[in-house]
Structure 1
């Protein structure tokens, strides 16, 4: 594929998008908070639909948040399953207490690391526990 990219026409569009959204590498805590709000709004918009046109933007914003957190809020190496186990323990929940995730079998596979959380499940857990969706990503 030898399609050339017209950078001169792309730059004004990028500048307009960046100015309107602030979506760029996160520079400070206020920007971090804003990017987290944007991620939550995008997750609300996509409603867990992996084919939604905004899913690419969810990935980009999620990656920017992850990069900032890795540098400024390092946590011990963890997974969405570890976060879920912790929150379940904190709230005294059993696997069967999470129907919004799926059957007890699905929850068991997620906790065992045999299955990844999908966007719909991440959104549901974020809402249920009142934490950022990034907690499970």
Structure 2
């Protein structure tokens, strides 16, 4: 198995092409082992060169609401009064630590998304 590190875009594209050709390889075979190693190398390269940006907290909440069929009223136990929910969803009020914890526990939104600065509007700390 002659595999080399992925150091640049050309190496990356060649590795992706080879991974694609090995996708039907069976586990435990030489081709399957090659696929496993290449996938690890590709993932490491992508993590280093294409870091994922976390979603805007308000957009993450709205997406979750849409997916679960929730209304702003459903967020009252996690955020507070309906007026506060509206302020958060409109980017007027930032999330507090307690809100972040409750939203994470109640809706399963990653904490990493909820702690990001709101990009949709400038939230004023109150």
TM-score (norm 1): 0.44
Q: Which has the higher helix share?
A: 1
Q: TM-score, normalised by structure 2?
A: 0.48
Larger Rg: 2
